[in-house]
Amino acid sequence: MTTRTLAVVTAGLSQPSSTRLLADRLAQATADELAAREITADVRTFELRDIAHDVVNMMLTGFPSAALKDVLDTVTGADGVIAVTPLFTTSYSGLFKSFVDVLDKDSLAGMPVLLGATGGTPRHSLALEYSLRPLFTYLRADVAGTAVFAATDDWAGEADAVNPLPGRIRRAGRELAEMVAARENSGPVDVFADAPSFAQLLGDL
């Protein structure tokens, strides 16, 4: 069996958090679908809360701490990413955006990404589509068609009898698994390997 790495980034602040719960469910659904394709998922989950200070410090100093560098390397080198944030005042949380801001803008190009969000009421569900999806489109990530929003009521199991949360999670997991299984991971960009020669630098003038 081959192995694919799934990096799970969750920006929930409380512990335990419903955002983490959704992230775990999405990761499990993806891993199950990969297993059905004879692929083992190596799931690495990161709570941004744990590296919140490091993210702000990187914004101030320009370089990541060792702990943050590990997270950045794992996320940008993964075969697929699951990104889940709570919705604060109509959009992704500031911590979530800050983490995206310290990523190199080219580092998620072509990356299969599954988006998820949590909120108090289903009336915020489209925030996934007007805030998260354009963000990852800008990064040129390959975003799964299904993005999963879980409101507080969804955890009761009867909030949406026609299209319940577990069904949406399964569908999203299947979509990400298909993208991850199909993708050839060329690894993180090596700026030194790709650096132009002096002749190229002159030629580009």
Partner 1 sequence: MQFGIFTVGDVTTDPTTGHTPDDTERVRSMLTIAQHAEEVGLDVFATGEHHNPPFVPSSPTTMLGYLAAKTERIVLSTSTTLITTNDPVKIAEDYAMLQVISDGRMDLMMGRGNTGPVYPWFGQDIRQGIPLAIENYALLRRLWDEEVVDWQGKFRTPLQGFTSTPRPLDGVPPFVWHGSIRSPEIAEQAAYYGDGFFHNNIFWPVEHTATMVAYYRRRFEHYGHGAADQAIVGLGGQVFMRARSQDAVREFRPYFDVAPVYGHGPTLEEFTEQTPLTVGSPQQVIDRYASMREHVGDYQRQMFLMDHAGLPLKTVLEQLDLLGGEVVPVLRREMEAKRPAHVPADPPSHAERVAARAAAAAPAPGSTAPVADRWTGRTAEDDAPAAARAGSAFGL
Q: Which is nearer to partner 1, 107 or 125 (CB)?
A: 107
User: Which member of 35, 36, 56, 126 binds partner 1 (CB under 8 A)?
Assistant: 56
Among the candidate windows 3-11, 15-23, 73-81, 189-197, which touches partner 1 by CB under 8 A? 189-197
CA 101 to chain centre: 13
**In whole angstroms, what is the distance from residue 103 CA to residue 75 CA?**
9
Q: Which x/- pattern over 62-91 shows residues binding partner 1 (rule: CB under 8 A)?
A: xx-xx-------------------------
**Contact flag: residue 60 with partner 1 (CB under 8 A):** yes
User: Which member of 1, 16, 61, 89 binds partner 1 (CB under 8 A)?
Assistant: 61
Q: Which is nearer to partner 1, 16 or 203 (CB)?
A: 203
**Contact flag: residue 201 with partner 1 (CB under 8 A):** yes
* Positions that interact with partner 1 (CB under 8 A): 56-57, 60-63, 65-66, 191-192, 195-198, 201-205
